[in-house]
Structure 1
Amino acid sequence: MRHRLKDVAERAGVSVKTVSNVVNGYLHVRPDTRARVEEAIAELNYRPNLSARHLRKGRTGVIALAVPELDIPYFAELARHVVTAAAEYGWTVLVDQQAGGRREQERVVAAGISDHLIDGLIFSPLALTAEDLASLDGTPMVLLGERVDHGPADRVVIDNVTAAREITDHLIRLGRRRIAAIGAQRTDEGASARLRLAGYTEALRAAGLAYDETLVASAAAWHRADGAAAMRGLLTTGVRPDAVFCFNDTLALGALRALHEAGLRVPEDVAVVGFDDIEDGRFSVPTLSTVAPDKEQIARLAVELLANRLDGDRAAPARALKAPYRLELRESTRS
C-alpha cells in the first residue's frame, strides 16, 4: 500500500501542509515538528510522488545529458556524476550520444530532442556554433566544454590552456626536452585539442624550448587505438621523444602500449602524461600522471545552472562557470 501525505500527517499529528513543507525542505518548520514528521515518514516508508509534483509544475521530471561518445570513459564517468546530482532534484536523466559531431543531429538535441519529452538539457556539443544555438527557441540548456565560448546558454568549463601548460611544465621540470604531443586536431570540432595544444606550446616557449612540428601527432579520434597508432607513427619516423603529452587518458593508454611494444621504458626512457583522470589510468602499468578535472563539480555546477534556469529568469544573461582541476602525478612520470 502506498501511503499519502495525509497518512503521514495523521501519524505525526500535524497538517498536510506541514508535511509538505518538511518534504520540500522549507526551513521555517519548528525542529520538534520536523522531527515528528520525519519519524512518521520513516515509519510509513513514505516516498513523495515526484511525477505528480513535476506535473503540477508543468514538467516531466526528465532532463537529458548529450555527450559526444560514451566509449570515452571521461564522458561515462561524467554521466554518473550528472545522474547523482540530478537525483537531488528528483530528476531522471536521459543520456544521449552524439557520436561524430554531426551538426544536424546536434541541432535536434539542442532543440529539445522531442516536444514535451525533457525539461532541460546538459549538452557537450562538437559541431554546433553560437549562431546555431541563438536560432533555437526552446529547451533550457547548459553547455559543457569550449566549443561555444560565447552564446545564449550557460556553460561549465575548465581552463584547458592553463591545465595543459601546467602538465607540460611538469615534464619540463623533470628535465625532458623533446616533448611530443598526441591528439592535435585541425577541424572546427577540435576545440579542446586546440586549447590543449596552445597550453603545451606556451609551456615550451616559457622554458625556451622550440616548438617542433615533427613532435606533434594528430588524432582524428581520441581512443586507445589512436594513441597507439600516433605513438608508433612518431617512433617509426625516427622521432625519439623523451616525454609525451597525450590530450586525453585513452590516447595515453594507447601510447603506453606502443612504447612497451617498442621496448621503451616508462618513465625512464619516455615519460607519459594524459588528461581527464579516468579510472583506467589509476590501474595501468605504470599508473598514469594526468590532469584531473573535478568531474563531480562539473556535473553539480551544470545541474545547478539548469535548475536555476528552470526555476528562475530564463531571459537572464548566460553565465560561464569554471570548474577546478588538479594534477595527479603518478608512476608514468616518476621512477
Structure 2
Amino acid sequence: MRHRLKDVAERAGVSVKTVSNVVNGYLHVRPDTRARVEEAIAELNYRPNLSARNLRKGRTGIIALAVPELDIPYFAELARHVVTAAAEHGWTVLIDQTGGGPEQERKVAGGIGDHLIDGLILSPLALTADDLAGLAGIPMVLLGERIDHGPADHVAIDNVAAAHAVTTHLLGLDRRRVAAIGAQRTPEGASARLRLAGYAAALAEAGIEYDERLVAPAPAWHRADGAAAIRHLLTSGVRPDAVFCFNDTLALGALRALHEAGLRVPEDVAVAGFDDIEDGRFSVPTLTTIAPDKERIAHLAVDLLANRLTGNPDAPPQELTAPHHLIPRESTTP
C-alpha cells in the first residue's frame, strides 16, 4: 500500500502541513519535529507523489536530451551522464535522436509536444541562432559548436585548444607528416572546422607547412569513414607518420585500416583520437585521445536548465566552457 502524507502526519503526531514543509525542504521546522517526521517517513517508506507535485507547479518533471546520433559512442556516454545529473533534480530524461536534420531539430526545439517536457538539452547540427530565435520554444541549453552566443545557454569545450594539444603531442614525438582525418566543409561541420583550425595552428607553431594533401575529409565520423580515409591517404602518395582523427570512432577505423595495410601503430604511424570513448581504452593498441569532461558537460547543462526552470528564467544566456585533457596511450607512445 502506498502511504500518503496524512499517514506520515499521524505516525509523527504532527499536521499534514508540517510533513509537507519537511518533504519540501522548508527551513522553519523545529529540529525535533523534523526528526520525528523523517523517522516516520523512513518507517512507512513514504515517497512523495512527484506527478501531483509537478502538476501543481505546472510541470511534468521530464526534460529531453536531443543528439544527432545515438550510435556515436560519445553521445551515448554523454546521455548517461545527463540522466545521472537530472536524477539529482528528480527529473526523468526523454532521449531523442535528430539525425542532424533541420526538421527534426526544429521539432524538438519547439518542445516535442505540448506540455510533454519542461526543458531541453539540444546538440544541434542544422539549426542556426536565427532558427532558434524564431521559435517560441521552452527553456533550452545548447551543446556543441554549431551555435554559440545564441538565444539560449550554451556549454562546449575549447575545440581549437584541444586539437592544438593533440597535434602538438604528435609533433613532440618527432612526427612531421601529421595527417588530419574528419574535415567537413558543410555548414553542419562546425566541430570539424574548429579542430582543423587547432591542427593548423599547431603545425604553424612548429614551423611545419600545412599540406592540404594530408587533410582527409569524412562525410560522417564513423569507423568506416576513418578506415576509408586511411586507405585514401596511403594510395594518394602521401604517407603520414601520424594521424589525428577528429573523433575516436574515426580513429578506431583508422587503426583497422593501418593493420590491414601491414603498418604498425605507433612504430610506423602514430594515431590519436578525440572524445575518450570507452572502446578506445580496450582497442589494440589503446587509443591516445582528447578527453572532454563529459560528466562536467552534463552537470553544467542540467544546472543551467534548472536555473531557467526554478531560478531566473529571464537572465541573459550564459556561455560555459567545460574542461578537457590529453590522455596519451599506446597508439602514440609504445
Same fold judged by TM-score > 0.5? yes
Residue 222 of structure 2: aligned partner = 223
- In the TM superposition, residue 175 of structure 1 has moved relative to its aligned partner by 1.0
Separation in 2, partners of 1:288, 1:33 = 56
Separation in 2, partners of 1:239, 1:36 = 76
- Work out whether 1:170 is the aligned partner of 2:172: no
Aligned residue for 1:180, secondary structure, equals strand
What TM-score comes out, normalization by structure 1 length?
0.96
- Work out whether 1:80 is the aligned partner of 2:80: yes
- Render the CA deviation track for 1:123-165: whole Å, top value 9, x for unaligned: 0000000100111112111000110112110001100100110
Residue 123 of structure 1: aligned partner = 122
Moved over 6 A (4+): none
Between the aligned residues of both structures, percent identity stands at 82
Aligned residue for 2:19, secondary structure, equals helix
Residues 1-335 of structure 1 correspond to what in structure 2 (within 5 A)?
1-99=1-99, 101-335=100-334
Aligned residue for 2:121, secondary structure, equals strand
- Render the CA deviation track for 1:199-235: whole Å, top value 9, x for unaligned: 0111111111111111100001000111111111111
Aligned residue for 2:331, secondary structure, equals helix
- Render the CA deviation track for 1:20-48: whole Å, top value 9, x for unaligned: 33333344545544443333222211111
Between 1:257-266 and 1:16-25, the stretch displaced more is 16-25
- In the TM superposition, residue 85 of structure 1 has moved relative to its aligned partner by 0.9
Separation in 1, partners of 2:28, 2:159 = 43
The letter for the 2-side match of 1:142 is: V
Between 1:76-85 and 1:309-318, the stretch displaced more is 309-318
Separation in 2, partners of 1:305, 1:11 = 39
Aligned residue for 1:333, secondary structure, equals coil
* CA RMSD, 1 decimal: 1.3
Aligned residue for 1:80, secondary structure, equals helix
Separation in 1, partners of 2:72, 2:103 = 22
The letter for the 1-side match of 2:295 is: E
- Render the CA deviation track for 1:240-293: whole Å, top value 9, x for unaligned: 111100000000000000011111111111111111110000110111111111
What TM-score comes out, normalization by structure 2 length?
0.97
Aligned residue for 1:281, secondary structure, equals helix
The letter for the 1-side match of 2:16 is: V
Separation in 2, partners of 1:79, 1:113 = 18
Separation in 1, partners of 2:12, 2:245 = 59
The letter for the 2-side match of 1:61 is: G
- In the TM superposition, residue 330 of structure 1 has moved relative to its aligned partner by 0.9
- In the TM superposition, residue 15 of structure 1 has moved relative to its aligned partner by 3.3
- In the TM superposition, residue 104 of structure 1 has moved relative to its aligned partner by 2.1
Aligned residue for 1:258, secondary structure, equals helix
Aligned residue for 2:257, secondary structure, equals helix
Separation in 2, partners of 1:31, 1:208 = 68
The letter for the 1-side match of 2:13 is: G
Aligned residue for 1:332, secondary structure, equals coil
- Between the two proteins, the alignment pairs up a number of residues equal to 334
- In the TM superposition, residue 6 of structure 1 has moved relative to its aligned partner by 2.1
Structure 2's unaligned 5+ residue stretches are none
Separation in 2, partners of 1:32, 1:269 = 71
